[in-house]
């Protein structure tokens, strides 16, 4: 596939990620506190799906790893928001099954061509192994914010975005931006730079609201 078409796919995904951040930021400013709107999780799931494909086309293990980790958390949060329960049983079963099985099918496909996948992801001359590990570490940190958010929300009994979520976001985002600069990937750099500002502002709102 043409390089610019692949970049276009990545920018679409990052545009959706940025849109979710912008909407969440706007609604939080309006409410004068950090909120967790349903549209945030809907856009997250769609963007994650597309960005995983972008990572695959770029032979970028770090990107794919990060999306797989957070993908199921988005599905859980939509469930916590009551999105799935509002659908008819047939549509709910069909959509949730497709969403749940897609990564599994992708993994099965990869195992069928194990050696070629390993060569493409870990023996890529454009991405040395140390950079793969560095980028993967950033993606893991960035994705663990959603694992933390899910555990916190389960304890509280509702979908929330706590302070720890934003702190982990800042650390992970800074690492990924550094990775994007080294990798010379404009999709990663632009996407994360916008988010970095939002994470900082949300953390400020959370601290301000809890002090009040």
**Alpha-helical segments (H) within the chain:** 3-31, 38-57, 61-80, 89-112, 114-122, 129-156, 163-183, 186-211
Domain count for the chain, please give it: 1
Q: Residue 208: pLDDT band by 50, 70, 90 thresholds?
A: confident
CA dist 153 and 36 (Å) reads 11
Quick: pLDDT tens for 102-122: 766 666 665 555 555 555 555
Q: Which domain holds residue 184?
A: 3-211
- Residues 36-51: what's their mean pLDDT? 91
| Cβ–Cβ < 8 Å for 87, 95 | yes
């Amino acid at each position: 596939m043409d390089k610019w078409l692949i970049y276009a796919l990545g920018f679409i995904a990052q545009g959706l990620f940025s849109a979710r951040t912008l909407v969440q930021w706007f609604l939080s400013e309006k409410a004068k506190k950090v909120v967790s709107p349903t549209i945030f999780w809907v856009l997250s799931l769609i963007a994650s799906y597309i960005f995983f494909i972008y990572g695959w086309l770029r032979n970028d293990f770090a990107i794919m790893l990060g999306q797989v980790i957070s993908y199921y958390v988005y599905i859980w949060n939509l469930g916590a928001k009551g999105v799935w329960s509002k659908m008819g049983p047939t549509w709910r079963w069909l959509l949730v099954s497709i969403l749940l099985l897609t990564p599994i099918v992708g993994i099965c496909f990869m195992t069928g061509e194990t050696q070629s996948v390993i060569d493409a992801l870990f023996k890529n001359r454009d991405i040395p192994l140390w950079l793969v590990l560095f980028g993967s570490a950033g993606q893991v940190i960035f994705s663990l914010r959603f694992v933390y958010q899910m555990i916190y929300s389960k304890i509280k009994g509702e979908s929330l975005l706590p302070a720890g979520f934003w702190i982990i976001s800042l650390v992970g985002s800074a690492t990924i931006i550094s990775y994007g600069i080294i990798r010379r990937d404009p999709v990663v750099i632009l996407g994360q730079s916008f988010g970095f500002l939002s994470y900082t502002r949300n953390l400020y709102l959370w601290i301000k609201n809890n002090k009040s």
